[in-house]
Structure 1
Amino acid sequence: MSDKPTVLFVCVHNAGRSQMAAGWLTHLAGGAIEVRSAGSAPADQVNPVAVEAMREVGIDITGEQPKVLTVDAVEASDVVITMGCGDACPIFPGKRYEDWKLDDPAGQGIESVRPIRDEIKDRVGKLIGELLPG
């Protein structure tokens, strides 16, 4: 384990929830946590509505690209947070796993994505409190 905890966010397409979560964690942790995201079946681009929802709160995720989930990424992470990818995520002993039950923003309008974005922010805030005591 490095001096920084590493968190991997995983959802099916790595286009919405996991990208928003990675954006929040990067923004709120100020570099104190290494942030990764991936998908079990990555889309070809980040969901434009997720990008817009994050832009509204001053976080730019336009440069992100969906990435395929690899065993190496899971192995190199201290905490693996899944969002609706079910059994597609490999499990390693000694890792911390959480499954966040969140609505999928795919195909939804901005009005539906905002509450998902805000719930992710709350969960990321709690996670930071657990990983960075003090």
Structure 2
Amino acid sequence: MMFNLLRAYLSAEKASLRRVLSGLAMIVMSGGVLLLAIGFAFLAAFWGLAEVMPPWLAALTLTATGLVVALILRLAGQSLIRSRRSRDAVSPQDLANLLAREIGLAKPDLKTADATGFVVLAAIAGIIIGRRLSK
């Protein structure tokens, strides 16, 4: 009975993994096609600019433009990551209070807690988060 249950669970997980991997492959392929399209757009812009300026200057202009756009995107991405981290941060005391309230314990004091308490608290947090995500 337990073996059949395990086999059914593993086959369901395999199917889920296949679906996720095929979706990931499609995303990677779309990224490749996007890079190819951007390359052709730069080539078309180069040919257009080479008609009104020397080809070396057209290439230099497009390279500088691409580098500026890449720098702006990188800085915007870093800013987004930093602001999200600071906004989503929760203090350990707040997390301990939330978990204690969730499982019905008294308010914990992290200043006097030992390492075993932290491990148990982390395990309980994992179970609670796992159950909430599975719903």
TM tier, smaller? under 0.3
* Structure ranking higher in strand proportion: 1
TM-score when scaled to structure 1?
Answer: 0.25
TM-score when scaled to structure 2?
Answer: 0.25
Larger radius of gyration: 2
* Structure ranking higher in helix proportion: 2
Greater RCO between the two (CA within 8 Å, min separation 6)?
1
